[in-house]
Structure 1
């Protein structure tokens, strides 16, 4: 720049460009940058908001429901086995625990069916058959040891038979739902690219607005244009607030993904034993943490509404400001 200041350098470079043409160029660049920035940012932001809503409404409850169902049906079988080992089958009220666990498993499957697109018909059928067999062993054949043992073995086979049993099928459903939830909670390269494009366009817009303000003040002798000043402030806010909100939301979604993985792992109980009680209690605590993390969806919704209004102003205000100045100073004179 031969020792000259940046302002003097650019003033010399632009001195040969007519002011009207320069302002018209600024108007076109402002429109292009604002439209690209606002549309790209809103689409990227909406993707994160929808991911939080989908996880909260469908996928996270499905993963939690399958985990709770798996533990409940295993505990029901253990409770039955425990009653037989202790010789309490004929004691009044002794079967309340296994019935409660069967009821919890049934409710878990019902809630999961409302939140997943997967076909649970086979799993529901297996659960109904298992429930019938284990209930028959404890009620209909409670005083016939041979038939009771046969029904218990039949129920156990329905429960844990490799690949086709109720528990293996629940494991497969858990894996599929967890994969879906993980994919939803992960910010892909396309979305990251959208954020980079939006921020780059907002930076270009801010620089163009500063240049337009400089041209109006230096070439036209005008005071600071209020339309451009407000648009510049909104551009800075638009570049910062949604980005910070999304990064906080994405951090929570990463926690949700990790939490759902822990819930699934905690439900993978091996065998039947009293440790099932502890796992159910742990599952309740982990599910509450996941629900708290998912509450971020409501906050992203509020910010999105404000971003839509701010985005419209960012597109309209600088265009109106430059359009009015061009109309008053140049176009009407032609």
Structure 2
């Protein structure tokens, strides 16, 4: 074989070997990009949706349940206070516990009715509310005779009022202590719902790590196309790089903002629970404080339209970071290697 033919044959084989290696390298980049995009986007969307579901649960169930127990407790205690004041001091000028007592007891009854729909302690909570309703019937059975039937019998009236107060406040078995236990269980549930657990944090770590791997792989693919294929840039890969960066930043920012609002709401609910339990400034002030705090709580828990749009934007972006690299690399493979092969 002549020397020039030998050199030509060696060069041809070298080019074929180099082309085969480049093809396999691009195919490896394509596989890594598709797999990391699918995994990271699946985990990201699930993690983001979990936080949004937590915000929705706090808004529709958690906050109303905690507020409901607090307002019901204060209304019951205020009703008892109004009844004794009306009877002992004849505030209303009529026989009976008075209008204040009736209004507060009615408010407590309405609160218990709403609680049966929104309480978040499950079957245990429903059982507690059933018991509380039964105790309130016994409470009324003691309070009504004390304020009407025995109005002229001081000793019997005192006995009935003390009996009603025991039903209302007796440690462990009274209405208010039972509601305290329910509130404690609900606050534990609120803490779990509104806090980002280890599994959620791990999900975000996997999603962000996957997007980082994808971005680095895109840069590597661009380097291969430029160094081995003579392509200075590929618009499809550049767009996928921008999409990966946006998906790594925007959903995480939205989640952080939502989590901050959940933390604020949880702290305000703890304040509502404390005011209903301590009552240091009197029942009237405590009721007003709970009303004011409940009004202030609407802001952090208000639904944000942009959060839903962020989810759908992330869903669309996830489709792009799967399709764009596949289109970009497959075009080069098809034009330079597959069709030629």
Q: What is the TM-score normalised by the length of structure 1?
A: 0.88
Shift of 1:188: 1.1
* Structure 1 partner of 2:85: 82
CA distance in 1, matches of 2:252, 2:303: 14
Give the conservation status (yes or no) of the 8 Å contact 1:89–1:142: no
* Structure 2 partner of 1:186: 195
Q: Are positions 1:321 and 2:328 aligned together?
A: yes
Shift of 1:181: 0.2
More off after superposition, 303-312 vs 245-254? 303-312
Match of 2:39 among 36, 39, 42: 36
* Structure 1 partner of 2:209: 200
CA distance in 1, matches of 2:242, 2:178: 56
**Change in CA separation of 1:263 and 1:17 when aligned onto 2, cut-off 3 Å:** farther
Give the conservation status (yes or no) of the 8 Å contact 1:75–1:101: yes
Give the conservation status (yes or no) of the 8 Å contact 1:185–1:250: yes
* Structure 2 partner of 1:308: 315
Match of 1:258 among 267, 281, 286: 267
Q: Which ranges in structure 1 are unaligned for 5 or more consecutive residues? A: 1-14
**Change in CA separation of 1:128 and 1:297 when aligned onto 2, cut-off 3 Å:** farther
CA distance in 2, matches of 1:208, 1:241: 21
Displaced runs of 4+ in structure 1, greater than 6 A?
Answer: none
Q: How does 1:279-290 map to 2 (within 5 A)?
A: 279-290=286-297
Give the conservation status (yes or no) of the 8 Å contact 1:76–1:99: yes
Q: Which whole-Å deviations, capped at 9, do the CAs of 1:91-145 have from their partners, x for residues lacking one?
A: 3898222211111111111111101222121112112332343244334554554
Give the conservation status (yes or no) of the 8 Å contact 1:90–1:142: no
Shift of 1:220: 2.0
Q: Which whole-Å deviations, capped at 9, do the CAs of 1:246-283 have from their partners, x for residues lacking one?
A: 11111111111111111100101459xx7110011111
Matched residue of 1:18: which SS? helix
Q: Which whole-Å deviations, capped at 9, do the CAs of 1:170-227 have from their partners, x for residues lacking one?
A: 0000100001001111111121111111111111111111121222233223353222
CA distance in 2, matches of 1:142, 1:319: 87
Q: Are positions 1:133 and 2:136 aligned together?
A: no
CA distance in 1, matches of 2:270, 2:146: 35
CA distance in 2, matches of 1:53, 1:260: 16
Q: Which whole-Å deviations, capped at 9, do the CAs of 1:55-86 have from their partners, x for residues lacking one?
A: 11111110110011111101111111211231
Q: What is the TM-score normalised by the length of structure 2?
A: 0.86
CA distance in 2, matches of 1:322, 1:162: 72
Q: Which ranges in structure 2 are unaligned for 5 or more consecutive residues? A: 1-17
Matched residue of 2:137: which SS? helix
How many matched pairs? Answer: 318
Tell me how large the CA RMSD over aligned residues is: 2.2
* Structure 2 partner of 1:231: 240
